[in-house]
Homo-oligomer: A and B are copies of this chain.
Amino acid sequence: MSTKLIGTTAAVIDRSSSTTVTRFFNFDTLELESGEILSPVTVAYETYGSLNAKANNAILLCHALSGDAHAAGRDCTTGALGWWDSMVGPGKAFDTEKYYIICSNVLGGCKGTTGPSSINSATNTPYGLGFPVITIGDMVSAQAKLVDHLGIERLFAVAGGSMGGMQALEWLVSRPSRVRSAIAIATAARHSPQQIAFNEVGRQAIMADPNWKEGNYYGGTLPARGLAVARMVGHITYMSDSSMEEKFGRRLREDRRPFKFTADFEVEGYLHHRGNSFVERFDANSYLYITKAMDFYDVGRGRTLAAALSQVDARALIIAFKSDWLYPPYQSQEIVRACKLTGLDATYCEVDSTYGHDAFLLETDEETHLIRHFLENVSLVKPADNNVT
């Protein structure tokens, strides 16, 4: 059977397989919410599609805790698919034939953007805990510099899930004139004590690792076991009770040794694997800084959510997942309620998924349907000066 006979499938494969390259934007200084100045700053980013002549078709994607700038396509070096490849590309939810898609690694991260593992120019050594505490607002400030650099005055949309959703909300309230629409998925306007508590357990696991050495481990042994435990806690919260039941049940691993403390259940092996592989791709200090930024984040910053949104003139799409107990739907509903109070045009969708928080990366069919429709509607608003062409 020739590939021509399965044209649709071939086309889908083709749409996923364009190679992409991470680029770097450098700038001198960034003033942080804390008042501190970070200098110099590098932002790693990727773009997909083309910016149109009016520069009004740009969509910024914001990644979650452990994501990076590589949202779509195959990395030109590693061949790895982007973290949201199923959603970004020709004909996909974020259609690169229509939109110019940007994704950058967050400030404080470890995938090319300045973070605690970067070299502090003042000391010529990695920042470690000398890195200033950063906020979701600071992440957005760094993104705004990049958006300026790319010659975009107003984003067609900002979109993200989990911590990415927080950044989308932050764009709305901190730069209302620069965003036409926001898509916030499986997120919260601020963390509950339970969310803070899970993050704090992860941080404590890292800081309890003697190899962490107050963050001063670069060039030496990494605090691998602590970071792995932190990631294991995370993975439990990303799944639902029922998705774990479906995926693992109480099945035992083949190499089990009964009545020993080795991992016996498949679910344990899965967590070990996820924990250990995370260590190879993520920096423990970045984990500390980024989770702290999430915990401190509060869209309202003392004001009510509605008050914070009062200056916003944008459309919002808020998506939650029924089985997401880490970012439960009630947190999304709070955002929608505040939007409605201020007269903001907000659409709320609660997807009936069993995947838990991970659903925002997995329920791509549902999301594609919702997001494509939402973006089409946004493009119909104020067609005179804003229509995507």
Contact = CB atoms under 8 A, between A and B. Distances in A.
Interface of A: 34, 129, 132-133, 190-194, 196-198, 200-201, 203-205, 207-210, 225-226, 228-229, 232-233, 235-236, 239, 241, 244-245, 247-250, 258-261, 263-268, 271-272, 275, 288, 292, 295-296, 298, 325, 328
B268 A192 contact: no
A265 B210 contact: no
Nearest to A296: B264
B133 A249 contact: no
Nearest to A232: B201
Main secondary structure of the interface of A (DSSP, over half): helix
Contact of A233 (B208, B233, B260): B233
B200 A271 contact: yes
Nearest to A200: B268
B265 A198 contact: no
B203 A267 contact: no
Contacts of A203: 261
Contact of A201 (B225, B248, B271, B298): B271
B192 A204 contact: no
Nearest to A251: B193
A311 B209 CA distance: 50
B196 A208 contact: no
Contacts of A204: 225, 228-229, 232, 271-272, 275
Contact of A192 (B208, B229, B241, B325): B241
Contacts of A228: 204, 208
A133 B194 contact: no
Given A197-B244, A200-B268, A210-B210, A260 B133 contact: yes
A258 to B, nearest CB: 8
A344 B267 CA distance: 33
Given A204-B225, A261-B288, 14 more contacts: A133-B260, A192-B241, A193-B245, A193-B248, A196-B250, A200-B263, A201-B236, A204-B228, A204-B229, A208-B225, A229-B229, A264-B295, A264-B296, A265-B295
B265 A196 contact: yes
4 A-B pairs closest in CB distance: A133-B259, A208-B225, A193-B267, A193-B244
Contacts of A226: 208
A245 B192 contact: yes
A34 B258 CA distance: 9
A381 B269 CA distance: 49
